[in-house]
Amino acid sequence: MSLLIIFKLLGSLALLMFGMKSMSEALQKMAGPQLRHVLGAMTTNRVTGMLTGMCVTAAVQSSTATTLMTVSFVNAGLLTLVQAISVIMGANIGTTLTAWIMSLGMGFNIADFVYPAFFLGIILIYMKKRRIIGDFLFGVSFLFLGLGTLKETGYSLVDDPASKEAISAFFSGFSDGNFLVSLLFLLIGTILTLCVQSSAAIMAITMMLCSTGVLHIDQGVMLVLGENVGTTITSNIVAMGANTQARRAAFAHLSFNAVGVIWVLVLMKPFYQMVCHFSGFDPSMSPDAPDFAIKASVTLATFHSAFNVSNTLLLIWFIPQIEKFVCMVIKPKNSKDEEDFRLHFITSGIMKTPELSVLEAQKEISSFSERIQRMFGMVIELLTEKDQNKFNKLFSRIEKYENIADNMEISIADYLDQVSDAHLSDETKAKIRAMLREISEVESIGDSCYHMAQTINFKVQGKKEHFTDEQYKNLHEMMSLTNQALTQMNQLISGRKDYFNVNRCYNIENEINNYRNQLKSQNIIDVNNHKYTYAIGTIYMDLINACEKLGDYVVNVVEARTGTRMHL
């Protein structure tokens, strides 16, 4: 085997993987937000969840993308574990479409038709409004060009007597058909898929080897089974840094496919015969037969589909049992102090596609915002805390929250910066710009809370004067209004802006402004009437003004999220 042929094999495989990735990302850019809404809404029971997973995977041409999206939803608390398992089952069926695309490419020289698609794609790429369609055409073209090159390279190996003899001799050493040999090929398929991180690429190699006759179809179907196990590893790697439920969802994917492989191995002979009968393939057919190549690739695609469909239809009724099993295996992590800095939804590991990464960033911002409201609640508590030890502990917690807020802003911004380096749709670019503004404003709210805590601490440490009952009453009223504004903001960030009443937020901000102005005027009168000193009046108004400023930051977050401008 010459060095040139080896590089052609590797290059065609890389071209195929790049084409599949580009095609999948383009499809997600075209329908990413809608698909996320569908995935979150259409999972009311196990059947609709399965159908949703199947349709989404068929649409984006990537079971990995669907599985990662599902794990992200579980991590964000948008899907239950039961819903996630049904979606992942459907994704296994949806991914079988990829195998049929592969068999189509093996059936005839599809590479002849890709060049017009390349030409049309480059025209669309330079048309800004049609750029994503151009990316999709380029992805499909690279996919089929890689398939065509892989097939041609495989046939060139067969045409070379020395190469064919060497490869055939290697595989003939495993032709006795015993169970251990079958397990070996299953393991090879699993390891190759794990290393390459693309079941589509290994499926293409399997089809090429079987269609040229150097690999027997019996060994090919074992590689296909191994690919089904190997493809589950990606989601498990990504979920390692996620919460317990997300890790359970990823492990359910592995368990589901592993159980399927086990029962298929037990029933391999009748199952394999059924597939061959359905596809019209005779295992004793000579590789020199005219239609051997197409029938071999169709048989592998049929086996892949039959396995995933049968496994899903069989195990979909046992989802509660699968849930209990994964819950038993994956125990919750040791609970940590909620005040330790840790991103909950943005996970390390394999980088997801930009369209899906935006979802995780949005949930992280929601967690950030909720944490800041808890910080404001501590400030309210600090205002009336009389016990000095409890006061000091509470103030220390607020200081800790301030440091966490700074770290969260930087970490989320860095993550969004990584995402923005990719080729993004205009909608996603706008979302990232809005989210960067949101985290800046939310962090400013944290700064205001810390400033208020410092002001209260300064008053307490002075130990000379106290607020009057009237001042305490006014401060609590102002803080209550401010907390309402924060609640409105969190409802918007954690929900959908379509259902958010912007006027409600606008009205609360108006109330805060008017109340601040009223208290400012009253403070001057009270100081002049010697109800309290000028010093305590200054501290009092510092807290009132900080609440008003905090309300302004809330309005800025709402404007960034809704894309509207409030005229206050």
Burial class (CB in 10 A: 0-12, 13-18, 19+), 540: buried
Indicate if 320 and 367 belong to the same structural domain. no
- The answer to the question of residue 458 being in a domain is yes
- The answer to the question of residue 341 being in a domain is no
- The answer to the question of residue 558 being in a domain is yes
Indicate if 43 and 114 belong to the same structural domain. yes
CB–CB of 138/125 below 8 Å? yes
Indicate if 442 and 294 belong to the same structural domain. no
Indicate if 434 and 478 belong to the same structural domain. yes
What does each of the 568 residues of the chain score in pLDDT, given as a tens digit? 567 777 777 787 787 778 777 776 776 666 655 655 665 555 567 788 888 888 877 766 667 667 767 776 676 566 778 888 888 888 888 878 877 877 776 655 566 677 888 888 888 888 877 788 888 888 878 877 777 777 677 666 555 565 555 555 555 655 555 677 778 888 888 888 777 766 777 787 788 778 777 778 888 888 888 888 887 876 777 667 666 777 888 888 889 889 999 998 888 889 988 988 888 888 777 777 777 778 888 888 899 889 989 999 998 888 889 889 998 888 876 544 444 455 666 654 444 556 667 777 888 888 889 999 999 999 999 998 888 899 999 999 998 888 888 888 888 888 888 777 766 667 778 888 899 999 999 999 999 999 999 999 988 887 667 889 999 999 999 999 999 999 999 988 887 666 677 888 889 999 999 999 999 999 999 999 999 999 899 999 999 999 999 999 999 999 888 877 655 4
Indicate if 389 and 268 belong to the same structural domain. no
Indicate if 389 and 324 belong to the same structural domain. no
Q: Domain boundary residue among 329, 362, 397?
A: 329
**What's the Cα-to-Cα distance from 457 to each of 129, 196, 438, 474, 536, rounded to whole Å?**
56, 58, 29, 19, 13
Element (H, E) at 367: helix 354-384
Q: What pLDDT score does 168 carry?
A: 58
3-class secondary-structure state, position 535 = helix
Indicate if 377 and 290 belong to the same structural domain. no
Q: Output b/e per residue, 383-408; b: 16+ Cβ within 10 A.
A: bebeeeeebeebbebbeebbebbeeb
Q: Domain containing 14: what range?
A: 3-329
Indicate if 363 and 243 belong to the same structural domain. no
Q: What pLDDT score does 98 carry?
A: 74
Dig out the tokens for 308 from the structure: 């995933």
CATH of the domain at 416: 1.20.58.220
CB–CB of 267/303 below 8 Å? no
Indicate if 104 and 231 belong to the same structural domain. yes
Question: Residue for token digits 């890689």?
Answer: 146
pTM of the model as a whole? 0.61
CA distance 30 to 201: 24
- The answer to the question of residue 366 being in a domain is yes
**Which of 219, 136, 211 has its CA nearest to residue 182?**
219
CA distance 568 to 556: 12
Q: Domain boundary residue among 329, 362, 391?
A: 329
Q: For 160-232, where are the alpha helices, taking DSSP H only? A: 161-172, 179-196, 199-212, 217-230
**157: number of Cβ within 10 Å:** 22
Indicate if 385 and 472 belong to the same structural domain. yes
- The answer to the question of residue 168 being in a domain is yes
- The answer to the question of residue 340 being in a domain is no
Q: Which residues contact 389 (CB under 8 A, 6 or more apart)?
A: none
- The answer to the question of residue 306 being in a domain is yes
Indicate if 391 and 437 belong to the same structural domain. yes
Q: How many domains does the chain have?
A: 2
Indicate if 481 and 406 belong to the same structural domain. yes
- The answer to the question of residue 527 being in a domain is yes
CA distance 382 to 456: 8
